[in-house]
Structure 1
Amino acid sequence: MNRILALAAAILLALPAMAHEITVGDLQIVHPYIPQPAVSAKTAGGYMAIVNNGTEPDRLIGVESDFAAKSIVHESKVDAGGMGTMEHVEAIEIPPGQTVNLEQGGYHVMFMGLTGPLTKGEMRKAVLIFEKAGRVEIEFEIDPPTGQGGHDHDSHSGG
């Protein structure tokens, strides 16, 4: 039995971590990641889940990073005519007892003016700024490219 447990533990330790998270106060930030953009890309989108385990709402009001000239919170929408748009939002409400997903096609962090390429497997530091929880240091994992084409963030000037 001990050999089976040891073997299982060795297998689990050998597997790469598929997700990472950080907990600060009542907030839990789950797997912040950036799909690897093209080497020549000047922009990238950042995604994660934010869980509020508390009894009071909080709001994500800003983002800072040292790998982009500008880091802001955006929301992607599709209007009644089917046209996709993206706009800067001042804050994202994180209701108590709920999870807000920052994901493709919705809320996301927009990194504009990348200072260099983002390489799959890297961890890139950033700071999420919350109204109540304050400054929360996180690391975005550079995940494999999505291959879905995504949005043309380079032509977006909002924010």
Structure 2
Amino acid sequence: MTGFRRSALIGSGLAAVLAAGTILVGCGSGSGADAPSAGAAVAGAAPRLSVVDSYIPLPASPNGMGAGYLTVRNEGGADELVKVSSPAAKSVTMHRSTDQTMEQVESFPVPSGGELQLARGGNHLMIMGWEKAPAVGDQLELDLTFKKGGTVAVKVPVQPLTYRPGS
């Protein structure tokens, strides 16, 4: 087989594979749950959200305020965290920390193909009015409501005050 014919056959095969991939991406279920991640983070795509690395450091006083930290990963289109609540706390508010100030915010953006990180020293949750005093090992349910992605319930573990993820 000549080099030209072999290149033409390879090129034809590659074109067929690419076309089949485009068809498969276009025939997804619409939920986004089974769509390939490589093509998911495009404008207008549905958000594909997951929550990882969540924890609440044990509050210093038994019924005092607590902070919540987590990461929202998004393998789909852009979204926005618009509300956080808990059946075990009177209120959960979203806060942004800058230099030496902390301010309550109405929402946090969740970028397309990116992450929203709520971490010590930065964006975080404030949990107030616990139904019962938390203890290390307890789990607090947080209901995260997104503008497009609906509500996601997560069980967030209470860790020692000195806990640092990854250590």
The one-letter amino acid of 2:87's match is: D
How far apart, in 2, do the equivalents of 1:67 and 1:39 lie?
17
Deviations 1:60-116, CA, capped at 9 Å, x for gaps: 0000112221111111111xxxxx111111110011111121001111111122233
How far apart, in 2, do the equivalents of 1:30 and 1:147 lie?
16
In the other structure, the counterpart of 1:12 is none
TM-score normalised according to structure 1 size:
0.69
In the other structure, the counterpart of 1:127 is 143
How far apart, in 1, do the equivalents of 2:66 and 2:106 lie?
19
TM-score normalised according to structure 2 size:
0.66
Structure 1 runs of 4+ with >2 Å offset: 38-41, 113-116
Structure showing greater radius of gyration is 2
The one-letter amino acid of 1:98's match is: G
In the other structure, the counterpart of 1:157 is none
In the other structure, the counterpart of 2:64 is 42
Q: Is 2:132 aligned against 1:110? A: no
Query: Which structure shows the higher helix fraction?
Result: 2
Preserved CA contact (<8 Å) 1:57 1:94: yes
Q: Is 2:85 aligned against 1:69? A: no
Stretches of structure 2 that go unaligned for 5 or more consecutive residues are 1-32, 34-46
The Cα shift of 1:41 comes to 4.3
What's the Cα RMSD here?
A: 1.9
SS of residue in 1 equivalent to 2:51? strand
The one-letter amino acid of 1:42's match is: G
The one-letter amino acid of 1:107's match is: N
Q: Higher relative CO (CA 8 A, sep ≥ 6), structure 1 or 2?
A: 1
- Residues matched between the structures, number: 119
Stretches of structure 1 that go unaligned for 5 or more consecutive residues are 1-23, 79-83, 149-159
